[in-house]
Amino acid sequence: MAINNPLILVVNDDGINAPGIRALIEVAKGLGEVVVVAPDKAQSGMGHAITINDTLQVDKVNIEGTIAYSCSGTPVDCVKLAINKLLHKKPQLIVSGINHGSNSSINVVYSGTMSAALEGSLEGIPSIGFSLLDHSIEADFSAAQIIAKQVITSVLNNNQEKSLCLNVNIPKLNTKLIAGIKVCRQAKGNWQEEYDERVNPMGTIYYWLTGKFVIEDDGEDTDEWALAKGYVSIVPVQPDVTDYKIKNDLKYLEL
């Protein structure tokens, strides 16, 4: 059953001025009442970080057709503060993104976009993170907007789970070339880091993180497989990280 004019909270990790969140706001405005709470600066790679030893500030921002705030904290702070302080009622849905770059596979654990969505679901609000496989500031979000509208509408009309959290990744393709939408599991993969070592003008060594992503999974039910085949991948996410497979092998630790 469709919800009439749902309240939709829009968040992200690239900051309130990123083109990706502006693209998502446009989609959300067509589907409900929109409140935006987003970091006042880029917060990529912030994972599930929260601000506990410092204060948070918010400022009103003018984004047409919405009530919008920038926040000095992390993506997860934005969600917590929105739900507990800034919103006049509980939103029906939280959408996060559209992230500039992939959050498939192991990237989900580093992702501020997805941590914001997970936080929403922990608070009992269905939440969807959207990511486009294009880091460019000039990325074309038009296909991603069509997908986002499709997925949001489908969730609003069909979902019964307050704890729903979806990780939606969208290939860098024209709309016509997207093969479809697949529900997937998270592919096993990892980053092989290298640190670029440099010397600053004062003679001190400093480092930049670099690295390449390596897929360690050839399953045909994974997000990486779907994306490589031109599909949008949707992975449902939940917060229990217990390793049930090895739990019973650890009896040697008990006393």
Residue ranges in 133-162 that form contacts with a second copy under rule CB under 8 A = 150-151, 154-155, 158, 161
Is residue 5 part of the contact set for a second copy (CB under 8 A)?
A: no
Question: Which one among 4, 201, 204, 212 touches a second copy, defined by CB under 8 A?
Answer: 204
What residues between 79 and 108 interact with a second copy by CB under 8 A? 80-81, 83-85, 106, 108
Which residue's CB is nearer to a second copy, number 44 or number 70? 44
Give Cβ neighbours of residue 82 (< 8 Å, ≥ 6 apart): 9, 11, 35, 37, 69, 91
DSSP calls for 139-208: ---HHHHHHHHHHHHHHHHH---TT-EEEEEE-SS-GGG--EEEE-BPPPEEEEEEEEEEE-TTS-EEEE
Closest C-alpha to 57, from 73, 46, 41: 73
Pick 62 or 245: Cβ nearer a second copy = 245
Q: Which of 61, 87, 181, 215 binds a second copy (CB under 8 A)?
A: 181
- Do 201 and 251 form a contact (C-beta atoms < 8 A)? no
Beta carbon nearer to a second copy, 1 or 255: 255
- 24 is an interface residue for a second copy by CB under 8 A: no
**Nearer residue to a second copy within complex by CB, 65 or 219:** 219
Q: Classify residue 172 by burial, with Cβ atoms within 10 Å: 0-12, 13-18, 19+.
A: middle
Query: CA angle at residue 43 from 135 to 230, to 5 degrees?
Result: 30
Residues 36-75 that bind a second copy (CB under 8 A): 42, 44-53, 55-58, 74
Residues 76, 48 contacting (CB under 8 angstroms): yes
Q: Using CB under 8 A, pick the residue from 2, 206, 214, 218 that binds a second copy.
A: 206
Which range, of 2-10, 135-143, 169-177, 199-207, touches a second copy by CB under 8 A? Answer: 199-207
Shortest gap between Cβ of 242 and a second copy (angstroms)? 4
Token look-up 């990790």 returns: 13
Q: How far apart are CA 87 and CA 214, in angstroms?
A: 41
Tell me which of 183, 219, 220, 229 binds a second copy, using CB under 8 A.
Answer: 183
Q: Shortest gap between Cβ of 188 and a second copy (angstroms)?
A: 7
